[in-house]
Amino acid sequence: MSTPPAPERIPPGIANALDYERLAAQALPAGHLAYIAGGSGEDLTVSANRAAFGRWAILPRVLRDVRAGHTRLALNGATLPHPFVLAPVAHGLLAHPQAELASARAAQATGACIVPSTLSSRTLEEIAAAAGPARWFQLYLHPDPAHTLDLLARAEAAGYQAIVLTVDASLQLASRSALAAGFVLPRECVAANLARYPQACAPALPEGASRIFQGAMRHAPTWDSLQWLLAHTRLPVWVKGVLHPEDALLLKQAGAAGIVVSNHGGRGLDGSPASLSMLPAVRAAVGADYPVLFDGGVRSGADAFKALALGANAVLLGRLQLYALAVAGALGVAHMLQLLTEELQATMALAGCARLCEITPDSLIPTYPC
């Protein structure tokens, strides 16, 4: 593995969470960095995710007493100390030799919820043993339903509290930036959870069949597979990768426990809108009380504040988690979460919000007409 071992110390010069992005550029081999930072195609949606935060300014409020302030929230039946969730990210070994075990330890230390990926470098059982009680399992449906059922049984046995079904990445276009950097997934990067399931060979496509519709998409999840999943687990099922308000409403009606407004960090459909820009319409479609999580481009406490103001209950962190992991392992992820929480608290205090529920659309003002 070409990733150098990360030092177990916080490097000097880190003043905010975003500094981990800057330092990761020095800690990671160029190809790994391009793979993690890039999206699909031309990275249009990666850029859109970040740019969307710039369209909103935060309105300060003065003279409010925030001395009883806190960032606690209720989510999926648990109370969490802050609204930052460690997003599912495949192949943690690319960032750190301890991979998801380091993220899990950071989650435990900071009370964060962690959502390990089906494609994690360590098994869901190993991650559960290192994590705190707030852990959900991200599921990609396996072509063989028996293997999906086995994954579900393992997640339930390992004490995961929810299943997060990802539905927006059945097909991923190559990232131009990762290709240009010559990135190839190292042989050591295996999906540990799937090692016990034999890989079925893809059947040859009949003449005239599409490599996309009849090929790559043949095992993609559908509304029927969601119903099947809901019937085969006792855990709440969240659905990740939703942008369209109509899909959000249909998912609520279908029985999903909640949704994650996300475009897979720009790694799915390149050219899809920034996830932040869809958040208000999704919130309006599902109503005030339905749980909506958000991810895509969050790099600061102020970004999180904007997502919360536009309708999210909590935010997931993808790349920022990997950058902190690459720079300083478990310590780095815990430190990054601590910095983000303080940044959010500072933003709340200056915006006159003592609790998360006081962060509303009125806390923001467009910087130019959207």
Query: What minimum distance in Å lies between the beta carbon of 117 and ligand FMN?
Result: 3
Interface positions with ligand FMN (CB under 6 A): 36, 49, 87-90, 117, 119, 138, 166, 240, 262, 264-265, 267, 295-298, 316-320
Query: What minimum distance in Å lies between the beta carbon of 111 and ligand FMN?
Result: 19
Distance CA 321, CA 241 (A): 19
CB atoms within 10 A of CB 64: 14
Q: Are 296 and 263 a contacting pair, CB within 8 Å?
A: yes
Distance CA 49, CA 71 (A): 24
Instruction: Tell me which residue has its CB nearest to ligand FMN.
Output: 318
Per annotation, catalytic residue among 82, 91, 142, 264: 264
Q: Which is nearer to ligand FMN, 296 or 301 (CB)?
A: 296
CB atoms within 10 A of CB 253: 9
Q: Which is nearer to ligand FMN, 264 or 335 (CB)?
A: 264
Alpha helices in the chain (DSSP H): 19-27, 30-37, 44-53, 99-110, 124-130, 145-157, 176-180, 223-231, 245-254, 275-286, 301-309, 319-350
Query: What minimum distance in Å lies between the beta carbon of 315 and ligand FMN?
Result: 8
Q: Which is nearer to ligand FMN, 31 or 265 (CB)?
A: 265
Query: What minimum distance in Å lies between the beta carbon of 249 and ligand FMN?
Result: 21
Q: Which is nearer to ligand FMN, 61 or 176 (CB)?
A: 176
Tokens matching residue 59: 């309105």
Q: What is the DSSP string of 15-69?
A: -STTHHHHHHHHHS-HHHHHHHH--SBT-HHHHHHHHHHTTEEEPP--S---TT-
Give yes or no: 264 in active site.
yes
Name the residues annotated as catalytic. 264
